[in-house]
Structure 1
Amino acid sequence: MPRRLTTYFQLHRLPLLFALFSMVFYYSLAYHLERTDYVKLFTLFAALFFFYWKLIQFEKWNFRFLLVSGILFRLIFIPLEPHLSQDYFRFIWDGELIINLLNPYLEVPNTLIENRDLPIANAQELHQGMGSLSAKHYSSYPPLHQIVFALAALLGGKSILGSIVVLRSTIILADLGIFYFGRKLLKNLNRSPHLICWYFLNPLVIVELTGNLHFEGIMLFFLVWSLYLLSQNKWQLAAIVMACSISVKLVPLLFMPLFLTYFGLKKSLPFYLIIAGISILLFLPFYDPAFLTNYTETVGLWFSNFEFNAGFYNVTKRVAIAMDEKPWEFIKEYGKIVPYLTLITALLLTFLRNNKDLLTLMASMMWLLTMYYMISTTVHPWYIISVLLLGVFISVKFPVIWTGMIVLSYFAYSQVNNEENLLLLALEYAVVLGFMGYEIFVHPNKK
């Protein structure tokens, strides 16, 4: 063995072992884990978070080592069919519809599957795999989301696994883009570039995005790219890229009021117009008189019909039940309030904070998103990855803690009816809120 290589192994012996053990545990999680085996799932996640923390602690200035490690961890999942999520069946279904010139926003799968001449490869398997809940609703995924679905169906060779590989490769490329633009943005903000590794090596990011094929990473790629362009005062290009982020996931719409004080009234108007124009252009190919009704109806379901890993909602629900409120009626009433509470929070952060500089603007984005998920009825683990990435730039650690604690919510996957354990959820939110309070009051600069 060359002397230089021997010296490298001696100097980096522990990080190399951590990376090797991480690869073994990711492999075990990907290929030897039953969805119902919560003890094994929790143990693997706990070990991966320990190695994640130690890798950054030991090698935070060794960008090449951390980049290669993050890529290798993701490549383990390449030929895997996800077993912690079934959403990918609907992704491929929508993609198949598009390449056959059928609009995914106009018919629900339950209706389409009755057509014997339906030109969709693996139609029965996809319909059965997506589950009854997805099969009875219209597609809720914005247009750029749909374009990636279509690309996966087109390049997948009429194979579900082939489409999965295309989807996964796109998500990995998006994460590499986040690493690239994230480092550049951190430098422009006079922050340490290594902070982006808190996102790039995070086990929740790797498992839920690369492993389970959720698209937060693609949405965040466009968001970080847009923020980087803003740091270079290229606000017109930033608006175009921001529209792309919204057209993957609607989450960045929450941030729109904040730009009013960042730009001022005169510049914010053209910024909004560019975003609106590009968004309309992207939706235009799917337009139909029934489209808007179907789409808003489906998106609205998330506010008033579903609940998972909720924080404040679970507390208020218990109070309501104690006062003889019916749970199914309460969630509908509560769901109507959430958008208004979120809008009020956005307006308060817009007019009561000085969002003139980009770092403060990003902090407001993070706190707004944190508030939104704290009061939401449905907080799937991959949702808070957006909070994690924004937290990277303002150097707060409570989102990192949350990505570790949210693993407690996976307990529901081990139950026959996905029944949640409220004690575990209480522990999750108590730890997160406790650490958040510590950072706010002990480090006031992170407010």
Structure 2
Amino acid sequence: MNKRAISYWKLHRFPILMVLTTILFYSVFGYHLPRTDFIKLITLYFALFFLCYKLIQFEKWNFKFLVVSGTLFRLVLLFSEPNLSQDFYRFVWDGQLIINGINPYLHLPKDLLLDIHRKIPNAMELYHGMGDLSASNFSNYPPLNQIIFAISTLLTGTSTMGSIIVMRIIVILADLGVLYFGRKLLQKLNKPTYLIFWYFLNPLVILELTGNLHFEGVMLFFFIWSLYLVHQNKWILAGVLYALSISIKLVPLIFLPLFIKYYGFKKSVLFYAVVGGVSILLALPFYAPEFITNYSQTIGLWFSNFEFNAGIYNLVKYIGVQWDAKPWELIKTYGKITPIIIISWVALITFIRNNKKVNTLIISMLWILSFYYFLSATVHPWYIIFLVLLSLFTEFRFPLIWSITIFLSYWAYSNPEYKESTILLIIEYIAVYGFMIYEIIRLQNKNLLFHKN
């Protein structure tokens, strides 16, 4: 080694060793971890979080070092099959349907299986891989997401692993985009730019997006780029990108009312027109008379049929059971009430808070989405990645605590009945609620929850 390399090694040897250890742990996670082995899973995850914390602590101003490290961590997982989610089978299925001229919003997989073998040779593999629940429902992935599925299958034919690799590369590129525009927005808001590495090096982000192939990162790429342009007062392009974000995942829809105060009534209407127009254009290739009915029906199921890793809902269910309420009736009733509560909360945040600056706008978004997930009956680990990113532009850090504890929910995979652990859920939510309350009290003098002036 030359003198420069020796000097660099002496200066950064501990972070380099931590990077190598982290790469080893991600390799074990991606290629040698049965999802039923909860002890191994949670031990690796906590170890990865500790290493993430130390890397940011030691090298937070060494931008290139942390970018290269985070990219390497993702590339380690490039050829692994997602082991904590089977959603990728549905992604490939939908992509195969599209390139074969079949609208994924109009047909249930279980109804197509017998007739599709000639067009899709790996149809049986995909059907059994996605599971009965997915096979019995229409696709719930928005149009731009479907286009990504189609591109991945078009480029790789009937190779499931080939499609996974293409989609994974897109997800990695999106994370790099989040890093780029997130850092630029932090600079504009006069916040430490190293904060973006709590997203880019976060094990939850790496494992759920690159590893398990969820598309929150692609949504967040368009979303954070849009917010950056909002800050730059380039509202037309910001509206286009905001629509692209919605067309990957619908979540950003919940924030649209906030722009009424930010832009004022007239300009906000124009902004909404851009967002709506682009969204409609993206949906047009998939439109059919049944499209809206089928899609609404599928989305509605998430409010009234499914439950996983819930916070407040589990408390409500516990109380309801004591009063002899039927669980299957309770979740349907709860699913009808929560949208009304959430809409009321969005209206409250929209009109009480002074959302005329981007930093205030982001805090409002954080509280809206936090409240939504606190009430939700289904909170998969990858959902809160949005909260993690939003929190980096605020003074609040409770989503980072949640990004650590939410992996406790994967206990459900360790038993054949997918039964959740009440004790682990209590630990998870006590940590999150406890730290959130602490932060609210600590920051109350800054009036960050209801800033009226």
Match of 1:391 in 2: 391
Indicate whether 1:320 and 2:309 are aligned. no
Mapped partners of 2:240, 2:126: distance in 1: 34
Q: What is the CA deviation profile of residues 74-102 of structure 1, one whole-angstrom value per residue up to 9, with x for unaligned ones?
A: 00111111111100000000000001111
1:116 and 1:225, CA in 2 relative to 1: closer, same or farther beyond 3 A?
Answer: closer
Shift in Å, 1:11: 1.1
Match of 1:417 in 2: 417
Match of 1:162 in 2: 162
Q: Using the TM superposition, name which of 41-50 and 386-395 deviates more.
A: 386-395
Q: Is the 8 A contact 1:142 1:247 kept in 2?
A: yes
Match of 2:194 in 1: 194
Match of 1:360 in 2: 360
Mapped partners of 1:63, 1:111: distance in 2: 51
Match of 2:30 in 1: 30
Match of 1:124 in 2: 124
Letter in 2 for 1:347: A
Match of 1:80 in 2: 80
Indicate whether 1:220 and 2:220 are aligned. yes
Mapped partners of 1:15, 1:82: distance in 2: 28
Mapped partners of 1:241, 1:94: distance in 2: 24
Match of 1:150 in 2: 150
1:424 match: secondary structure = helix
Letter in 2 for 1:183: R
Gaps of 5+ in 1: none
Give the fraction of aligned pairs with identical amino acids, expressed as a percent.
57
2:4 match: secondary structure = helix
Q: What is the CA deviation profile of residues 295-314 of structure 1, one whole-angstrom value per residue up to 9, with x for unaligned ones?
A: 00001000000000000000
Q: Is the 8 A contact 2:220 2:245 kept in 1?
A: yes
Match of 1:288 in 2: 288
Indicate whether 1:235 and 2:232 are aligned. no
Letter in 1 for 2:107: E
Shift in Å, 1:117: 5.1
Mapped partners of 1:116, 1:238: distance in 2: 41
Match of 2:308 in 1: 308
Mapped partners of 1:391, 1:299: distance in 2: 27
Match of 1:253 in 2: 253
1:295 and 1:41, CA in 2 relative to 1: closer, same or farther beyond 3 A?
Answer: same
Letter in 2 for 1:368: I
Letter in 2 for 1:143: P
Mapped partners of 2:138, 2:430: distance in 1: 36
Mapped partners of 1:156, 1:313: distance in 2: 42
1:116 and 1:441, CA in 2 relative to 1: closer, same or farther beyond 3 A?
Answer: closer
Q: Using the TM superposition, name which of 377-386 and 181-190 deviates more.
A: 181-190
Shift in Å, 1:116: 5.0
Shift in Å, 1:121: 3.5
Mapped partners of 1:18, 1:351: distance in 2: 47
Q: Is the 8 A contact 2:84 2:212 kept in 1?
A: yes
Shift in Å, 1:438: 1.2
Match of 2:428 in 1: 428
Shift in Å, 1:443: 2.3
Mapped partners of 2:320, 2:405: distance in 1: 27
Letter in 1 for 2:249: K
2:314 match: secondary structure = helix
Q: Is the 8 A contact 2:117 2:123 kept in 1?
A: no
Q: What is the CA deviation profile of residues 291-331 of structure 1, one whole-angstrom value per residue up to 9, with x for unaligned ones?
A: 11000000100000000000000000100110111000000
Match of 1:55 in 2: 55
Q: What is the CA deviation profile of residues 121-156 of structure 1, one whole-angstrom value per residue up to 9, with x for unaligned ones?
A: 301100010000000100000000000000110112
Q: What is the CA deviation profile of residues 10-48 of structure 1, one whole-angstrom value per residue up to 9, with x for unaligned ones?
A: 111211111111111111111111110000000000100
Mapped partners of 1:361, 1:326: distance in 2: 40
Letter in 1 for 2:225: W
Q: Is the 8 A contact 1:112 1:118 kept in 2?
A: no
Match of 1:369 in 2: 369
2:115 match: secondary structure = coil
After TM superposition, list the pairs within 5 Å mapping 1:90-109 onto structure 2. Answer: 90-109=90-109
Match of 2:350 in 1: 350
Q: Is the 8 A contact 2:116 2:123 kept in 1?
A: no
Shift in Å, 1:202: 0.2
Shift in Å, 1:157: 2.8
Mapped partners of 1:114, 1:60: distance in 2: 55
Shift in Å, 1:118: 4.8
Match of 1:206 in 2: 206
Letter in 1 for 2:359: L
Match of 2:276 in 1: 276
Task: Compute the RMSD of aligned alpha carbons.
Answer: 0.9
Q: Is the 8 A contact 2:33 2:41 kept in 1?
A: yes
Shift in Å, 1:217: 0.3
Q: Using the TM superposition, name which of 306-315 and 7-16 deviates more.
A: 7-16
Q: Is the 8 A contact 1:369 1:387 kept in 2?
A: yes
Gaps of 5+ in 2: none
Mapped partners of 1:118, 1:393: distance in 2: 51
1:194 and 1:304, CA in 2 relative to 1: closer, same or farther beyond 3 A?
Answer: same
Indicate whether 1:71 and 2:67 are aligned. no
Match of 1:137 in 2: 137
1:393 match: secondary structure = coil
Q: Is the 8 A contact 2:412 2:419 kept in 1?
A: yes
Q: Is the 8 A contact 2:262 2:357 kept in 1?
A: yes
Match of 2:171 in 1: 171
Which consecutive segments of 4 or more residues in structure 1 shift more than 2 A? 443-447
Mapped partners of 1:171, 1:318: distance in 2: 39
Q: Is the 8 A contact 1:156 1:164 kept in 2?
A: no
